[in-house]
Amino acid sequence: MIILSAILTGLAQQPLGLGWLAWFSLIPFIIGIQNVCSFKDHLKLGFTWGFFYNLTIIFWIAQNLGTNLTIGIISMFSAVILFSINTILIVLAYYFIKRRVGQFSYLLLPFIWVSIEFIRSFGALANPWISLANTQIDFLTLIQIAEYTGIYGISFWIILLNLLGYEWYCDKNKKSAFSWLTIFCLPWITGLIIMPVNTTISQDSIDVTIVQPNVHLSEKRRQGATPQNINNLLKLSFSDNYVKDRLVIWPETSTMSYLLQNGGRYLTQIQRLLGITNSELLTGLPVYKKDSDTQYLYYNSIAHIKADTVENVYDKIHLVPMGEYIPLSSIFPSLKKLNLGQANFEHGDEYTLFDYNGHKFGGMVCLESTFPQLNRKFVLEGAEVLFYVVNDGWYENPPEPQQHARQTVFRAIEFRRPILRCANTGISQIVDASGNIRHQTHLNQADVIQASIVPNSELTFYTKFGDIFAWLNILIILVFLGRGTSQKNE
């Protein structure tokens, strides 16, 4: 039953319209932690549930086109075990609280779950990808409370709903059923109240063009492919029937060449067309900077290119461990010499904003789109629009591209900002401030999105106060631990 619970909850994470499974799939998990007593059994239960839950979600890591199948499978199981630490910590925390609080400690499970999920969102190995909240992305009205609680309010609601379902299962009375129904309806009602009215296009709107070139990973890496890739991007971006006076966005590492350092003729070609169309370009690209006479530092970056200048460059802050750098390599430089197929990028340290027509754009690269705290820092700096440049070309088949793209809905709701997502071979989108996906491309197809967006400078509760809801959960757990008395399990 524990394995079934984990698989059903994992399936709720997939882009299959099965998010409703999470409304009851954790009941066997709750029954399990209520029935086991020893530390060892809690550890075993936590690992078992976490292993099958994460395996169901991220099995696709084994299909990485950037490596061979053996390395892909090893990477997948390593990630599954790493992410299973979340559930192990949740169950062990519950074990120690049960010893101190007593019989009704299971009522603290939502607070424990949110606390661990939040704590594990920090550090080099953090990844909100597996958050329970992601199971509910299809239910737009329900998740509007993220404007106040962030994703952790959604995770709390899921655990609480399952907890009340467990009580209903045990008691089988009308009171338990009414409690479950009340908690189930609450976020739907609040969602209807707080969801913004659809924003109409105003005089302050901005015309944008999002270009999805659909360049295969092998083609992008092919020696001598840069001229063809640049010409393809320009053809998609500046067709004769496209309007002028607009902002063009290209995806992550849209060209593998170091355009700003030694791509002079390509840069000139791009800037000439920008001048003719009175447009500006935001593009993902690799960048290197001289650190000493013989040392160069490499970055995964976004550049703002105008007809006569390159105005700003943002260097990716949160890199992908083992994909873009080796963890601890900043402390032990010799680790950079390891060649496991990864890049050796440096971490950026500035929350650079891009200015277009007097409006501030905050841009992030690929996985950074999944981190609420990072996005919040850009909004606090003044970003009125958030955009992501992405390359999901490592995974040509579902569900990775869909899982990745869906999470932009939460960022739109949390900050009430329009979201622009530009992917290479993945899924490009425009999401409005209510979380509605207004425009979306198909997977593995070259396409262009042309639309108008309305920037927003108002600050939401979540922007102002951050993860105060998650911190309150931690505080409540600490209070109960402080007041409890250690009990010896029979």
Distance between CA atoms of residues 71 and 59, nearest Å: 13
Helix (H) and strand (E) counts in the chain: 17, 12
CB 288 within 8 A of CB 299: yes
Q: How many CB atoms lie within 10 A of CB 367?
A: 22
- The structural domains of the chain, ordered by start, are 2-196+467-483 (no CATH), 206-453 (3.60.110.10)
Nearest by Cα to 260 from 301, 231, 227, 213: 301
Tens place of pLDDT for every residue, the chain, 490 residues?
999 999 999 999 999 999 999 999 999 999 999 998 899 999 999 999 999 999 999 999 998 877 788 888 998 999 999 999 999 999 999 998 888 877 678 889 999 999 999 998 887 778 789 999 999 999 999 999 999 999 999 999 999 999 999 999 888 888 889 999 999 999 999 999 999 876 555 668 899 999 999 988 777 777 777 888 899 999 999 876 666 789 999 999 888 778 888 778 889 999 999 999 999 999 999 998 887 666 888 899 999 999 999 999 999 999 888 777 777 666 666 556 565 555 678 889 999 999 999 999 999 999 999 999 999 999 999 999 999 999 988 888 899 999 999 999 999 999 999 999 999 988 999 999 999 999 999 999 999 999 999 999 999 999 999 999 999 999 999 888 776 555 554 4
Place of tokens 């680790």: 335
CB 178 within 8 A of CB 186: no
Distance between CA atoms of residues 131 and 146, nearest Å: 13
